[in-house]
Structure 1
Amino acid sequence: MTAYEGELENSKYKLLGFENNKNLAVIMIIATGKVIKIKLSEVLNSEIMENLNKMEVKNIYKKFYSQGGALTAYDLNDRHESSWMIYIILNLLLFTFYIFTSIAATKPIYLESLGIIITPGTFLYPLTFLIVDLLNENFGLRLARKAIFFAFASNAMIIILLYGSTFLPGLPGWKLDTPYNDVIIHVSSVLVASSVSFLVSENINSYLLCKIKELTNSRFLFLRIFLSTLFAVIIDSFVFCYIAFYGSMQNNDILNMIYVQIAIKVCFAFFNILPAYGARSLFKRYMTDSQTK
């Protein structure tokens, strides 16, 4: 491969060199010209590797394994398996919280003491942002997006199957046939709304998290967790509420529901910071333990 061909493969980043004493890679963001310094181990687990040319990737691996503290082939395989187990668990949690909150959102509830209208899923849905943030932090933007699309596709399949069941002939004399169809049609419409809002807001959340991480050189985890979640919940609340309840509720009630959801989700954005730090610490500890066994 010629040097010219290698340059053509760079799309976002360019390797400028290394800082030996700190085991850092010096990377330039091509779009802005900004130079950042990142640990080699973090570079290997980030999207940066996907946007370097072959020669730069080879140099990074060569530098990493020449440090003397690199893992053996056996350890790398063991780590790979452990990483995927965590990835699967996070995917299952994302799917569980997402489906539950989507179905629970079909029932608006009125808290008379506070005079507000919300849905039961409002309190658990922010956890999906935390899970996506953890996927971003530990597996990168590409795998985080795969998890988002997996949850979205699963939800879409549930919508199709539930809606299709309403066309099946009911048992003669079964009194719940009509109520069942009415509920499923309502649930399906809410699931459509949740699917659109989920796909839009979670991708925005992932994108912002990665961009803030780049701008801060992987520092200030609390800042990128909060800011990415903040913008995502605002967009999610508006998209979901208007698609799900437009026409069945008055516009003022929908707006009040949106404002309440945003307020509650922003509070959760603050609380998500501590679990994010804890999860990152547990992840690193688990990976370290699995490598030493």
Structure 2
Amino acid sequence: MSTSSHLHSPTQRQYKYYEFVMAAFVAVYLCSNLIGPAKAAQVVIPGLGPVTFGAGVLFFPVSYIFGDVLTEVYGYARARRVIWAGFGAMVFASVMAAVVVALPPAPTWTNQPAYEIAFGSTWRIVAASLTAFFCGEFVNSYVLARMKIRSNGRHLWQRTIGSTIFGEGVDSLLFYPLAFWNSGLIPNELLPGIMLAQFITKVGVETLFTPLTYKIVAFLKEAEREDHYDVDTNFTPFSIKV
């Protein structure tokens, strides 16, 4: 078993692909919050009938896949830095979206209502999204790191799916009540069903992507010569130290 925390000083390591994985994680997270939520999609599933869902559900599970890859290869501390990068990027994007929406439109520009629908999320929804993301991603990363130690690095699929169940569970349990409870946008009695459907969909996407996750992890471990085990890691989320 390779424990990079014992073989190398983390601050001295230089990686070929870490920054690219970070950029991909942040890009997917921004897309899931800025592109997907503006559209309610509906597909017909044989045996179930029409199923309505927010289009953001197509993006968001991919961020958990990148989170799994980061923790599995580079360790919790470096995954923590990426989570903070995503959090900061979303705060900035939310502030700028609010500023742009609030700017008075030119008399010749007639698309303000559509722009407000696409980018005019309320601060309650933005705050709920940020809170759920922060807690869910850290739970996902922590569970995967601890499971890796307990399993001695075996059975990657158990770690990726198991950590996603906990992370996505926390995310769904936090986001929907914080964003929509007594809001008048979604009836309270419908929230549990929506939460369950979103949770199942997200975990299902993670499960379907497991073979691809295996390939990415194997490639990065070989290319980076890294397979981090968080034996002596400080798991506080409130740090960016590695």
Deviation string for 1:142-200 (max 9, x for gaps)? 11010001011000001111112233232235433355345433276544332221111
Q: Please, which of 196, 200, 218 is the counterpart of residue 259 of structure 1?
A: 196
Deviation string for 1:91-117 (max 9, x for gaps)? 111111111111212333344663433
Q: Please, which of 140, 161, 167 is the counterpart of residue 75 of structure 2?
A: 140
Structure-1 residue corresponding to 2:18: 87
Structure-1 residue corresponding to 2:187: 250
Is 1:131 aligned with 2:62?
no
Q: Please, which of 37, 44, 55 is the counterpart of residue 105 of structure 1?
A: 37
- Structure 1: runs of 5+ lacking an equivalent: 1-38, 50-59, 62-76, 289-293
Structure-1 residue corresponding to 2:85: 150
Q: Which has the higher contact order (CA 8 A, sep 6+)?
A: 2
CA RMSD of aligned residues (A): 2.4
**3-state SS in 2 of match to 1:105:** helix
Number of matched pairs: 216
Q: Do 2:98 and 2:120's aligned partners in 1 also have CA atoms closer than 8 Å?
A: yes
- Percent of aligned pairs with the same residue? 21
TM-score (norm 1): 0.66
Distance 1:86 1:177, change over 3 A: same
Distance 1:244 1:108, change over 3 A: farther
- Structure 2: runs of 5+ lacking an equivalent: 226-242
**3-state SS in 2 of match to 1:109:** strand
Q: What is the correspondence of 1:1-293 to structure 2 with a 5 Å cutoff?
A: 39=1, 42-43=2-3, 45-46=4-5, 49=6, 80-81=13-14, 83=15, 85-103=16-34, 104-111=36-43, 114-172=49-107, 174-181=109-116, 183-186=118-121, 189-246=124-181, 247=183, 248-287=185-224
Q: Do 2:29 and 2:63's aligned partners in 1 also have CA atoms closer than 8 Å?
A: yes
**Which moves more between the two structures, 220-229 or 141-150?**
220-229
Q: Do 1:116 and 1:257's aligned partners in 2 also have CA atoms closer than 8 Å?
A: no
How far is 1:258 from its partner? 1.3
